[in-house]
Structure 1
Amino acid sequence: MSNTLDFFSDYLTASVRLSMPLAFAALGGLWSERSGVLNIALEGMLLTGAFVSAAATFYTGGNVWLGILAAIAVGGVLGLLHAFLCVSLRVNQLVSGLAINLSVAGLTAFMSRIVFNSETTQKLPGVPAIALPGLSQIPILGSLLFNQDPLVYLLLLLVPLSTYILFRTSIGLTLRAVGEYPRAADTAGIQVARVRYLSVLLSGMLAALGGAYLVLVHVKFFTEDVSAGKGFIALAALIFGRWHPVSTVLACLLFGATEAAPTSHPGI
């Protein structure tokens, strides 16, 4: 019985870890697409966050928090670039996103060979878990929900916060109006371009945070194409979740659980 519980607990923990990069990227994509800007560049933003967090952590002697902050900052810059191309220059949103993805794939592959110029994979220190006293001792749920790293707790906060802002505040109403009826919003005096810039900026920051989680918590190293298409899976989860924060994150958990199934099987 204990072996079954241990396996189930390990499987759920692996599912959460595999779904976290998807959840951050999907949540970022939700903010962008709710404002009317399709963000195909989630893959590139996630990969950028992974590389920048790894490089910053490496150069600062293992300071993972500076690595995370650097990833968020550079992800925001990529978000602003995507917004500039799509909102200001009116470039096709699909073309802009694909261009960012292709450029980032090449640049991170090139830069990783310069930064991590060794034949062996550079191991990163990783973000430590924080066990909540008492709650972390609960069977299964304790290790799953109350013995996690700060980024997991941050996501658990962002999901209800995003839901509340989007559907219970004037800010969310403005954002949804810009995404659904931009001309009507502009007539009402809403600055459509500003709202979209801020939304895509936030999208890039969240997607990059997913990349930082991937290399600093999950795998603890960076390699070329470490994102492995997770940005596109996040887009699928976003559509599957019908652009709602709760259902989108649940869709990410479903994809994470599917990916964790073979690796968690005791016979594999």
Structure 2
Amino acid sequence: MSAVTVRSESALRRRNQRFGLFSLLLGAVMLGVFAPGSGGTTARFIMDPTRGVPPIQVMVLPTVVVLGVVVVAVALYQVVKGFGERAVLALGGATLLFVLAFLTWAAAEQSLSMIGLLRSTLFAATPIAFGALAGVLCERAGVINIAIEGQFLAAAFTGAVVGSVTANSWFGLLGGIAAGVLVAAMLAGLSITFKADQIVTGVVLIVFATGLTSFLTSQVLAGSAGLNRPPRFGTWAIPILSDIPVIGPLLFVATPLTFAMLIAVGWLHHALFRTRWGLRLRSVGEKPRAADTVGIPVIATRWKAVLLGGVVAGMGGAWFTLDSVGSFSREMTGGRGFIALAAMLVGRYSPVGAFGAALLFGFATALASALQLLDTGVPSSLLLTIPYIVTIFVVAGLIGRLRAPAADGQPYEKE
């Protein structure tokens, strides 16, 4: 057995143990907190009453106990023996059971709309997914982009102003995209052309965008309400498909930006891993010198990747003012650019993986809002921290050793 194989098996065993201990913690919370605190007898989950789907009613205490026992059993098996390459699936299953137990406990003697919760999850995940996709494009080309928060703010502000002036949300979206591309061009110019430190450049751009949008908000928008009232995108329903029970209102009734996000995830995943363009882009992030020797323009390819990332990030920023709120306010993105970075890392630089992580963080956001409508006894101010707590747990405990593109963050000089 080679040394490489031994190290690989050792790393896999450590990951199984880490995931198993985390699952064991989830099971302990389910049996030690949720079960004793199950004051109600039943919980009622509303599915899709408009399409004839009846609600689901379950007994709270038995459901929580059974799910907790299953999670503990899975955790012990993962710690002792391990699930091998299926460790992530086992962890995902344990987490899903934990969420179901939590929802059952929270909805004791109350009703919870599951279709509403899931729709809110997809809606809240939209900007995070856009930001994560922008990060994937840049990092795969070898450029570290932590300026997503700055791109979000610039695009949100510009989208609000352009949308208000033109009274058209589509023109506002174009303005937001232009702002995202402008910040991306600044990132590319400083980090690729002038070879500045990419992390420092990203921090500077975030500070610049935050300060500039705050100044313009107080000096321009505060004195002219007509510049901060952009029309919002309406909801689209795809004919026939939107009438499918449960799945229809979840996937086929949404705003244009949500549909665009879903299309972008599928297209970018295919383009990155199934096309010549994707191979060339990934090659300049892994082996730029070798890519250059076969005629791939490394500098130009990185510039294009960063600018395309600016387009995607601009769409995510425009979501805040043209899709969600309908006006701009200072630092309204609330750190979602940083959560998008976490989603990119959890997704391991894959568009589909980043989308899955964005759904996790979007669910945390939607759950925080839903729990405020339920009588859980938890202060609403504490509930609002759920998305950030989930981010800390996921990044600190579950990512583990991550392999970034080999040339990520390294400036390239042509010989």
TM-score, normalised to structure 1's length?
0.95
Larger Rg: 2
2:258 aligns with 152
> Which fold has the larger relative contact order, with Cα–Cα distance below 8 Å and residues 6 or more apart in sequence?
1
Task: Give how far 1:254 is off.
Answer: 0.5
Distance 1:14 1:123 in 2: 23
Residue 190 (structure 1) aligned with residue 296 (structure 2): yes
Specify the SS of the correspondent of 1:125: coil
2:182 aligns with 77
Instruction: Provide the alpha-carbon RMSD of the alignment.
Output: 1.8
Distance 2:235 2:164 in 1: 20
Deviations 1:58-107 (A, max 9, x none): 111x2100000011112112111100100110000001100000000000
1:207 aligns with 313
Consecutive unaligned residues of structure 2, counting only runs of 5 or more, are: 1-42, 49-112, 376-415
Deviations 1:91-128 (A, max 9, x none): 00001100000000000011122332259895442101
Distance 1:190 1:12 in 2: 43
Residue 91 (structure 1) aligned with residue 133 (structure 2): no
Distance 2:45 2:349 in 1: 38
Distance 2:45 2:232 in 1: 28
**How is 1:86-235 mapped onto 2 (pairs within 5 angstroms)?**
86-117=191-222, 122-235=228-341
Equivalent in 65, 68, 79 of residue 170 of structure 2: 65
Task: Give how far 1:217 is off.
Answer: 1.1
Asked whether the 8 Å contact 1:14–1:264 carries over to 2, the reply is no
Distance 1:119 1:36 in 2: 42
Distance 1:135 1:169 in 2: 30
Task: Give how far 1:199 is off.
Answer: 0.4
Deviations 1:156-185 (A, max 9, x none): 211121111111111111111100111111
1:267 aligns with 374
User: Which is worse superposed, 247-256 or 109-118?
Assistant: 109-118
Equivalent in 121, 132, 135 of residue 26 of structure 1: 132
Equivalent in 47, 72, 76 of residue 5 of structure 1: 47
Task: Give how far 1:11 is off.
Answer: 0.6
AA of the residue aligned to 1:65: W
AA of the residue aligned to 2:128: L
AA of the residue aligned to 1:87: I
Instruction: Give the share of equivalent positions with the same residue, in percent.
Output: 39
Asked whether the 8 Å contact 1:32–1:203 carries over to 2, the reply is yes
Distance 1:123 1:141 in 2: 33
AA of the residue aligned to 2:374: G
Consecutive unaligned residues of structure 1, counting only runs of 5 or more, are: none
Asked whether the 8 Å contact 2:164–2:229 carries over to 1, the reply is no
Residue 51 (structure 1) aligned with residue 157 (structure 2): yes
Distance 2:117 2:146 in 1: 30
TM-score, normalised to structure 2's length?
0.62
Distance 2:217 2:244 in 1: 41
Deviations 1:191-212 (A, max 9, x none): 1000000000011111111011
AA of the residue aligned to 2:238: L
